[in-house]
């Protein structure tokens, strides 16, 4: 389902703050600075919360940008990011997860159609029992 999101759809972690309307419009944080409407938010932690005691998704946001070559090579030798993580945290080995390439992996220039270089990034979503355990 995530792979089929349109340009006007996004995935967020956590839920809307309880003082916000059930339906909101989303804009960029920069544009929000000029407008004050209760139904207009930005996709930032200012508007989304993790509720204690409720299940949630935690995000591992992996990005190769700026990564030293020796670290990248070591991760590759270990079989990739997930293999490296389970080597350090063996309890992750059998946990359910959703994995997808970072958004930057699919960017292209509208005017030329030229694909932009991928950062090699990855998003891994892990289910957790208590949303309060997620660090913002």
For residues 58 and 79, give the distance between their C-alpha atoms in angstroms, rounded to a whole number.
23
Please provide the distance, in angstroms rounded to a whole number, between the alpha carbons at the two ends of the chain. 25
CA 103 to the chain's CA centroid = 9
Torsion, Cα of 66, 70, 76, 79 (10° steps): -120
Domain borders along the chain are 1-49, 53-136
> Which tens digit of pLDDT belongs to each residue from 45-70?
899 998 899 998 899 989 887 889 99
* DSSP secondary structure letter of residue 123: E
For residues 134 and 14, give the distance between their C-alpha atoms in angstroms, rounded to a whole number.
9
- What pLDDT does residue 104 have? 59
In the structure, how many helices (H) and strands (E) does the chain have?
A: 3, 7
Residues in the chain with pLDDT values less than 50: none
If DSSP codes are grouped into helix, strand and coil, which group holds residue 2? helix
For residues 77 and 115, give the distance between their C-alpha atoms in angstroms, rounded to a whole number.
28
Q: At what angle do helices 81-88 and 69-77 cross, to 10 degrees?
A: 80
- What pLDDT does residue 106 have? 58
């Amino acid at each position: 389902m995530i792979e089929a999101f349109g340009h006007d759809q996004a995935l967020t972690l956590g839920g809307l703050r309880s003082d916000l309307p059930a339906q909101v419009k989303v804009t960029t944080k920069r544009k929000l600075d000029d407008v004050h409407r209760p139904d207009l938010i930005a996709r930032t932690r200012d508007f989304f919360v993790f509720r204690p005691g409720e299940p949630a998704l935690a995000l591992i946001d992996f990005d190769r940008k700026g990564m030293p070559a020796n670290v990248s090579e070591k991760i590759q030798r270990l079989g990739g990011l997930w293999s490296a993580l389970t080597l350090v945290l063996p309890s992750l080995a059998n946990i359910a997860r959703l994995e997808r390439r970072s958004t930057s992996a699919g960017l292209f220039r509208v005017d030329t159609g030229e694909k932009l270089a991928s950062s090699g990034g990855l998003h891994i979503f892990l289910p957790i029992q208590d949303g309060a355990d997620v660090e913002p």
